[in-house]
Amino acid sequence: MKSLSTLIGLMAISFFSGLFLGQPKRAEAQTPAPQSTGETKLEQQIVAKEKEGLDTLKTGNLESFGNLTADEAVFVDAQGPAGKAQVLKNVAGFTLLDYSMEGMQFLPLSARSGLIVYKINEHGNSHGHEFTAKAYVASIWAQRKGKWVCLFSQETGAK
């Protein structure tokens, strides 16, 4: 059942990514198989940007975090969807002290975009309260005018 839920979720994300990234060319119409090797340059770039974004939350550099977030980005968590302005407001009182990523999966969406899915183990401080959490994360990154930006991110609490 979890596999079916994951597949449906990935299909929905792939569908909605078309809204952000435009329709694929006919030659790209088939969705590539997910990879988790970490060997492709595209995957390495996107994973590095995801880590960079998390690291900005460790250092409290909200300007850098904002620069890594597309203006039209949508982030989803237990509170629901939020745009860039709301996300920046929410993370103003948030600091990651430590995190680890595991089970990385990658799905290329185009020559300059891709989806990563992983489990995060995080320890931090949110608005004066220390926390430890585990969540599954899905993020879509795209390169625009030579700059990588996150278009979409969703966190789902892990049991």
Spatial distance between the Cα atoms of 148 and 105, rounded to a whole number of angstroms? 19
pLDDT digits 0-9 by tens, 8-36: 333 333 333 333 334 333 344 444 445 44
pLDDT band at 53 (very low <50, low <70, confident <90, very high): very high
Q: Is the pLDDT of residue 101 over 80?
A: yes
State the first-to-last Cα distance of the chain, in angstroms, to the nearest integer: 15
pTM of the model: 0.76
Structural domain count of the chain:
1
Sign, CA dihedral 124-130-134-140, equals: negative
Q: Is the pLDDT of residue 125 over 60?
A: yes
The domain in which residue 52 lies consists of 2-23+32-157
Beta bridge partners of 77: 80
CATH number of the domain within which 52 lies: 3.10.450.50
Q: What is the pLDDT of residue 84?
A: 97
